[in-house]
Amino acid sequence: MWEKVQPIWKIKDIRNKILFVLGLLVIFRLVAHIPVPGVNLENLRQFLAGNQIFGLLDVFSGGTMKNFSIVMLGVGPYITSSIIFQLLTMIVPKLEELSKEGESGQQKINNYTRLLAFPLALVQSYAMVKLLNRSALPIITDLSFFRLATILMTITAGTMFLMWIGELISEKKVGNGISLLIFAGIVSSFPGAVRNFFINYNSSDFYVFVLFAALAVLTVVGVVFINEGQRNIPVNYAKQVRGNQMYGGNTTHLPLRVNMSGVIPIIFAISLMVFPPLIAQFFVQANTAWIAGAAMRVINIFQNQLFYGVVYFLLVFGFTYFYTGVIFHPQKMAENLQKQGGFIPGIRPGTETEKYLGQTMNRINLTGALFLGVIAILPLLVQYFMGTTNLAIGGTSLLIVVSVAIETSKQINSQLTMHAYDTV
C-alpha cells in the first residue's frame, strides 16, 4: 500500500491538490458543527431519533441536521437542481442543443443549475424549519419574522458555500466534489455508529453483528466488481499509406464499463425517495381533512419497508439507464472511429457501428443496473425479515463510500499517468 501512496506524496502537484481537497473537507466538517442560534438541539436530536425520514437525511448530511448546522441541507438542493436540468435536457430542445455544444454548452447548463439551486435551497430550508417547528417538542423557541429570515438566509448561504467547495474540489480532478462531500458526511458518522454499537452491545445481538459484517463485505465486493467490470470491444484501424510510410493497421479495444454512472443513480434515488414523505410531513396538520389524510397515507406507505425497497430498486435501476444515456453517446463514438479510420470487425462503420454500440451498452447496462439495484436493497431486505433498523442506512452508506473511493482513486491514478507522460 505504501508503494502506491509514496509516488503520490513525492509529486508536488498531486500532493498539493490532495492536501487542498483534504483542507476543504476539514472546513466542511468544521462548518457542519456550527449551529444556527436559537435552536433547542436536545429536542431536535430526540425528534430525529424517532423519525426515519429525517434520520436518513441526517446520516447523509453527516450529522448537520442533528446540530441544526448552517449547512444542514448539505448539497441536496444542488443535486435536486441537477436532476431537474438533466430531465429538462431530454425534453426542452434548446437545452438539448446546449448539451451537444460540448464544454461551452455544458458550462451554460451548469450555470443554470447553480441559479436554480438557490431558490430550491431557500424553499427547502423554509419547509424544513416549518416542519421541525411543528413537532411535539419545541425545537425553535422564537420564530419571529426577523429570526425566520435570518435562519433561511443562513441555511441557504451554507448550501451555496458547500456547492462552491464542491466545485473547487472537482476542479482539482482528484474526485467529484459533490460526491466527496457526501462521502465525508457519511464517513464522519461511522465512529459514532461504532461507539453506539459497543455501548448498546448485547450478546444476543451477536448474530446480527455477524450478518451486518457479512453484508458489508458483500456490498464492498459487489460495488468493486461492477465498477471495475468492463467489456472490451475490438477495434481495428485500416492501413494508410502516406508517401513512403505506412500508418495504422494496429488493433486495440474500446472499453465499455458495466456501470458507467458510478454512484450517481444512488444519490438521485435517495433524493427522490426522501422527497414525497418530506413534502407530506408539511401537510399532515392541514385544516382540510382529505389533504391531511392523503399526507398521512404517503408517510405510512413510505415507512413500509417492502414498498420502500421496491421503489428504491426501481429508481436505482431507472437512473442507471438514464444517467448512462446522458454520458454515453454511441453516435459520437461511431463518428470518431470512422474519422480515425477505425472499425469494429464484422460491423460496418457509421450507423451500423452506432447501433451495435448502443445495443451492446444496453445489454451490459442491464447487468450493471440489476446488480446495483440488488446491492442497494439487500440491506433493506434483511431489515424487513429481521426487524433491525440500522442495516438499510449502513448498506446504502457503504455503497456510496466504496463507489466514491473507487472513483477518486481512479482520478488520482490518471493524474499519476499524466505526470509520467509529462516527464518522459
CB 71 within 8 A of CB 295: no
What pLDDT is stored for residue 160 in this prediction?
92
Burial class of residue 216, CB neighbours in 10 A (0-12, 13-18, 19+): middle
Q: Is 0.85 surpassed by the pTM of this model?
A: no
Domain(s) labelled CATH 1.10.3370.10 in the chain stretch across 1-201, 203-424
CB 251 within 8 A of CB 233: no
| DSSP state for residue 136 in the 8-state scheme | S
* Dihedral over Cα of 68, 74, 78, 81: its sign: negative
What pLDDT is stored for residue 402 in this prediction?
79
Q: How many CA atoms lie within 13 A of 371 on its CB side?
A: 23
Q: Name the stretches of the chain with pLDDT < 70.
A: 1-5, 48-63, 134-138, 193, 196-198, 200-205, 208, 238-249, 379-396, 420-424
The CATH label, of 2.102.10.10, 2.60.40.10, 1.10.3370.10, 1.10.10.60, for the domain at 203-424 is 1.10.3370.10
In this structure, what C-alpha cell is assigned to residue 138? 419545541
What pLDDT is stored for residue 161 in this prediction?
92
- Count of CB atoms situated within 10 Å of the CB of 11: 16
- Count of CB atoms situated within 10 Å of the CB of 297: 11
What pLDDT is stored for residue 387 in this prediction?
60
Amino acid code (one letter) for 36 = V
pLDDT tens digits, 176-220? 888 888 888 888 777 776 776 667 666 666 776 777 777 777 777
Q: Going by C-beta distance under 8 Å and a sequence separation of 6 or more, which residues neighbour residue 381?
A: 309
In this structure, what C-alpha cell is assigned to residue 260? 458507467
Three-state SS for 256? strand
The CATH label, of 1.10.3370.10, 1.20.1260.10, 3.30.450.260, 3.20.20.70, for the domain at 1-201 is 1.10.3370.10
What pLDDT is stored for residue 23 in this prediction?
92
Q: Supply angle C-alpha 154, 157, 161, rounded to 5.
A: 135
Amino acid code (one letter) for 169 = I
Q: Give the DSSP H or E segment for 252.
A: strand 251-257
What pLDDT is stored for residue 399 in this prediction?
72
pLDDT tens digits, 264-317? 787 778 777 777 877 777 777 777 888 888 888 887 887 777 788 888 889 888
CB 50 within 8 A of CB 66: no
In this structure, what C-alpha cell is assigned to residue 193? 455508529
Amino acid code (one letter) for 357 = L
